[in-house]
Structures are given as structure tokens and as C-alpha cells.
Copies of this chain bind each other. A is one copy, B any other.
Amino acid sequence: MPIITLLTDFGTADGYVGEVKGVLAKDAPQATLLDIAHDVPAHDVEAARLAVARYWRRFPEGTVHVVVVDPGVGTARRCLAVESDGRFLVGPDNGALSPALLFAGAQAVSLAIPPNASPTFHGRDVFAPAAARLVNGAALATLGEWHPDPVIRRTPEPVRRADGCVVGQVITVDRFGNAITNILSLRVGDVLLGARVLPLRRTYAEVAPGEPLAVVGSTGLIEIAVRDGSAAVLLGLARGAEIVFRGRA
């Protein structure tokens, strides 16, 4: 059975996700619906992009990912359907789909908006129907016009300073309060947070409870963490905070 995954910032209590699932259950009854998340911070396209980067290629080919964090709903921003590495994605053209769009061979179309679509709920009226068509076997090209230049968002690159240190930043804070940076760890070194040197460890539990550390996270990026605590709270870290990586010579 083909899979449709759902990531939104709708929350679930209001019933919006229920409406989307109802459309999918009716229009694609043979598909399996899997929730990814509905508690993405409201309008946080960047958080959606980072989550999509984690999961989109882990699912089998043929999976359709619905990704709707859409502060511009109803405006002139495009509605995208994307085919990339055998998976499909639908969602607003705001950069959340960038991980798939940047993959070699990706193709995108701009979805036609049905005339009776609510201008405030494209998740229900545009993206769910498009996902159903894709999972039912429609070719991407039948869903809309080729769209050659979708919005792309990228993780900022760390920069190398004159002294050889790499200056990066926190790109997101996860539920545990771990601050995930844009620094790919390829070698041994020190992580500096202001004047503080954080030990680089393999796992969170290799320092004493309450102590800060750096680890290489599950996507290869350096994370700042506090054992049994929140680095975000205890170290005052939020998206954009500067982190310096000092490689050992």
C-alpha cells in the first residue's frame, strides 16, 4: 500500500487535520496515512524544512509527503508538487520542500488551484487532492505546469575565520533542548560557546548530569546539549546563536 505522510503546523485539536485526512481517506482509500507532525511551530517554514530533510528519503519510493506550513496561503505563492528520487512531495512554494528540490533530478510543477478552493485552507482543498492523485498514479506533469524556479531555503554555511576556527550557528533547538548547529564534524576539535570550551563526546551521558557537552548528532551535525537538561534553557541558545568550532592542529 502506498504511503501518504502528513506534516503541518495545524495542531490537531481544531479538526483541520481531520478534514485533510477525510479528503485523503475518500480520494485515496488504498493509501496508508502516516502522521509525521502537526505541532511544527505556527508558520515556521524553517522548522518544516529541517524536519523534511530528516525523513523524506527514508520512506519507500512512491511515498507522497504532504508538507503544509503555509503563512502565505491564498496569496500568489505557488502550490507545488515535486518528484524527487522516486518520492513525491506537495506543499506551498516557500522553501520547506528544499531538501527534495535540491536532490539531483528533482522536478516540480505548480498546481492548479481548484476554483472552489478556500483561500485559507489549501491543505484541504489543494494539497490533499493533489496527494491523492499522485498516490493514485497520476503523473506529475498532469497536475500542473512545470515550475522551474521554486523557492529554495538552505542551511546557512559556517564560515572559516582567519584564525582557522569555524564559526557556525544554531539552526534549530529540538524537543530535548539540544541546539543543533550547522557544523559538520569531520575531525576532533573543541566547540566554543563564548569563552566556554565544551567537551566533544560520543553520547549525552558521558558528562555529569547538568553539564554541557557537544556531540555529533544523528545527521552528522554538531549539537550542543546538557545532560538530563535543556541546553536551550541552561545555555540560553536559540536559532541563530553563534557557535565556534576550533579544530586541533
Contacts and interface: CB of A to CB of B under 8 A. Distances in A.
A230 to B, nearest CB: 8
Nearest to A14: B174
Interface residues of A, number: 72
Given A22-B55, A22-B58, A120 B204 contact: yes
A36 interface: yes
A15 interface: yes
How many copies of this chain are found per oligomer? Answer: 3
A37 B18 contact: yes
Interface stretch (A5-13, A146-154, A190-198): A5-13
A40 B218 CA distance: 21
A42 B33 CA distance: 26
A217 interface: yes
Please provide the 3 A-B residue pairs with the shortest distance between their CB atoms, ordered closest to farther. A22-B58, A74-B203, A15-B51
Interface of A: 1, 3, 5, 7, 9-19, 21-23, 25-26, 29, 32-43, 47, 50-55, 57-60, 63, 71-75, 118-121, 124-125, 172, 174-177, 202-206, 215-218, 223, 228
25 contacts: A11-B39, A11-B175, A14-B175, A15-B36, A15-B54, A17-B36, A19-B55, A19-B58, A21-B36, A21-B59, A22-B57, A32-B32, A33-B34, A35-B35, A43-B228, A71-B204, A73-B203, A73-B204, A74-B204, A75-B206, A118-B218, A119-B216, A120-B216, A120-B218, A124-B218
Given A21-B59, A73-B205, A120-B215, 4 more contacts: A14-B54, A15-B55, A21-B36, A33-B34
